[in-house]
Amino acid sequence: MDLFSSVALGDLQLANRVVMAPLTRMRSGASGVPGDLVVEHYRQRAGVGLIVTEGTYPSAESRAYPGQPGIVDDEQAAGWRRVAEAVHERGGRIVMQVMHSGRVSHPDITGTDRIVAPSAIAIQGEAHTPKGKVAYPVPHALTTEEAQATLADIVAAAKRAVAAGLDGVEIHSANGYLLHEFLSPNTNERTDQYGGSPENRARFVLEVTTAVAEAIGAGRVGIRISPMHHVQGMHEVDEADVRATYGYLVDNLRPLGLAYLSVLHSEPGGELVQELRRRFDGPVIANSGFGRVTTREEAVALIEAAHADAVAVGRAIIANPDLVERWQGEHPENEPNPATFYGPGAEGYTDYPFLAAG
Ligand SMILES: Cc1cc2nc3c(=O)[nH]c(=O)nc-3n(C[C@H](O)[C@H](O)[C@H](O)COP(=O)(O)O)c2cc1C
């Protein structure tokens, strides 16, 4: 298979198999409304097969970062409509990553009186709030009822995203945020139906995904997972438990007929990811995580080896708005500048040169 060939992920028709990975860039201000700069950023990158937006919060208390965009109110939805229109005008496809922060936040960021998680276990370390670095608070453990309200927030956000013209949503169940916190035993000490066994820990993610699929159609719903990704206090070290939990999860995602499963793991071609892929039995987007930057060579190899149907590419797309053209023609690439990853402003965001200019 060829990285530059078209592919269908559920209802999503991609012109090529290069997917823009979800990338938090914190350029949407205090209001969380994506403005002109954000519209331009995504417009520039519409040549990929699919854009997955930066993680976007579905409710005030689920905001993880200052400057992160939301999909809570009409103004935010209107901002996203402009983004979607800009991408569609260039023939691109775009889905929204809906991201509930869980315990990875602070009331000084959310403006709410609490942050929530499966269990009242704080992250070690400090949150970057508008007032500076502050220790992460102990989160409020969601009651069973509150978990249902949270699910409803995520469903409402997915509907709002599609109503705003996006082609679908990706449910963020990776990287230590709320849904990942339900999956992992070190962040989930619940004794109700959402805690304990692998089946119970997977239950909330399955309920959320099923509800979103029912609300907007499974063919435009993807989900991202990151088994054994030890970021933000996650600690999934028991391999048998990981296999049981994620195996159960994908076995039960399979009948939904989702658009795709996106897996972040250091070895996308390795045994764990490939077993999950077999059991999911649908399109898989692979990404090898933060440890090494995805290169053309790695992306081509993953597709040629049929280890994935598409590849999520992060930092190379930050620095190269026309990445597909560059990779296709084997042209040189701009280098990403990590100092400007998390904002603010146009520098390192919309000013990376295109091939013709560079
Ligand atoms: C600046 C930055 C922001 C990111 N934001 C998100 C995010 O919002 N959601 C998510 O699932 N992953 C996020 N990631 C992880 C990327 O999607 C991707 O997995 C990672 O960058 C590794 O891929 P790469 O080597 O191609 O950059 C982020 C990564 C970076 C560098």
Q: Rounded to the nearest whole angstrom, what is the distance from the C-alpha of residue 194 to the centroid of ligand 1?
A: 28
- 310-313 and 284-287 as β-strands: parallel, antiparallel, unpaired? parallel
pLDDT at 144: 96
The reply to whether ligand 1 has any atom less than 6 angstroms from the CB of 23 is yes
The reply to whether ligand 1 has any atom less than 6 angstroms from the CB of 123 is no
The reply to whether ligand 1 has any atom less than 6 angstroms from the CB of 174 is yes
Atom 23 of ligand 1, nearest CA residue:
314
- Which atom belonging to ligand 1 lies closest to the Cα atom of 97? 9
Count the helix, strand and coil residues of the chain and give each as a percent rounded to the nearest 5: 35, 15, 45
The reply to whether ligand 1 has any atom less than 6 angstroms from the CB of 289 is yes
Q: Rounded to the nearest whole angstrom, what is the distance from the C-alpha of residue 317 to the centroid of ligand 1?
A: 11
pLDDT at 356: 80
Q: Rounded to the nearest whole angstrom, what is the distance from the C-alpha of residue 220 to the centroid of ligand 1?
A: 21
Q: Percent of the chain beyond pLDDT 70?
A: 99
Q: What is the DSSP string of 310-326?
A: EEEE-HHHHH-TTHHHH
pLDDT at 147: 98
Structure pTM?
Answer: 0.98
Q: Does the pLDDT at position 357 exceed 60?
A: no
- 126-129 and 221-225 as β-strands: parallel, antiparallel, unpaired? unpaired
177 is catalytic: yes
| pLDDT tens string 265-304 | 999 999 999 999 999 999 999 999 999 999 999 999 999 9
The reply to whether ligand 1 has any atom less than 6 angstroms from the CB of 243 is no
pLDDT category at 189 given cuts 50, 70, 90 is very high
Q: How far apart are CA 358 and CA 348, in angstroms?
A: 15
SS3 252: helix
pLDDT at 321: 98
Q: How far apart are CA 93 and CA 272, in angstroms?
A: 29
**Domains of the chain listed by start with CATH number:** 7-357 (3.20.20.70)
Among the listed residues 57, 65, 136, 177, the single catalytic one is 177
